[in-house]
Chain A
Amino acid sequence: MDILTLVVYILLGIGLFFNLVGIIGLLRFPDVYTRLHAETKTTTFGAIFISLSIVVHSLHQYFHANDASGLSLSIHVVLAILVLAFTNATGSHAIAQAAYNRGQKPVRAVVDKLAEVEFLEKEAEE
């Protein structure tokens, strides 16, 4: 087997493994915040590795088969990773804040500083 094909398969395997971990975490964790942990981090990391495998494959196409679409594909994929990293983080922050404002308390939490702050603000208003 070609060494580059092997690299592409290894990168794909790592990416798929982390996406699988994200799904299992989504099913196993107790509340919205811990599920967001599993989902956001692992799927972004997995998507980075899947995209890296595409970059390796298409750059190989570009340099060996001299196929110009390989170069443009790899640039598009790198831009997609950047956009994905930013939107994934921002989206999960929005979901977490919406859930907190809606009244979802973190399950099994040992400390909740945000609730203490809101309690103090209510005291001050009264």
Chain B
Amino acid sequence: MIAFILTAISAYLAYLIFTAGSWTGQELIAGGILAIIVAALTSGFHFRNNKIKCNPIRMILALLYVLIPFFIEMAKANIDVAIRVFTGKIRPGIIKYNPQLKSDFGIMLIANSITLTPGTLAVHVDEESNDLYVHLLNIAPGKEQKGSWAGKDIFSWFDLSAWVRRIAE
């Protein structure tokens, strides 16, 4: 029952967001009926177990994470890649990176962040030890023989894996 109500509420919120600016009484009622139909059809699919993690502090942290550290790292990575596109100075390689995260959601978030940020691209995820195999565009000379990299070796200003640990674990 709680799954049904939560799905209906989130479907109605999504409807309100998509139709913002043209709300009339009839449209709001039609949206409510649609939300109930959607919830009846999909609530069993969206909630496979009853452990619902929905902490508002984590949501605010996630928004903050996207707006400040992630965006700054992304801008820096893009300028770096742009310079390397024009000069052609690259020293690529695949390294092992252990983000020290356990949950699937955390791994998904850090792998996506890593692909968009600091000259890196997630190639392979080891599902037992949760290691990421990451392709780097430019490895600093002398660093390539290092066994396993930590967050502070990859990121320069913000340690994104620490942020993801706060959001997703």
Contacts and interface: CB of A to CB of B under 8 A. Distances in A.
Interface of A: 18, 21, 24-25, 28-29, 31, 33-34, 36-38, 40-42, 44-45, 62, 68-72, 75-76, 79, 85-86, 88-90, 92-93, 96-97, 100, 106-115, 117
Contacts of B144: 110-111
Contacts of A41: 74, 77-78, 81, 115-117
B122 A42 contact: no
6 contacts: A28-B85, A31-B92, A33-B92, A42-B78, A111-B95, A113-B94
**In terms of DSSP, what is the predominant structure of the interface of chain A?**
helix
Interface stretch (B12-20, B43-51, B161-169): B12-20
Contacts of A97: 123-124
A72 B19 contact: yes
A113 B95 contact: yes
Interface in B46-90: 74-75, 77-78, 81-82, 85-86, 88, 90
A41 B74 CA distance: 8
Given A41-B116, A79-B18, A93-B123, 8 more contacts: A33-B121, A33-B135, A38-B85, A85-B116, A86-B112, A100-B124, A111-B93, A112-B93
B71 to A, nearest CB: 9
B124 to A, nearest CB: 6
Contacts of A70: 21
Contacts of A24: 85-86
Interface string B105-127: 00000011101110101111000
A71 B92 contact: no
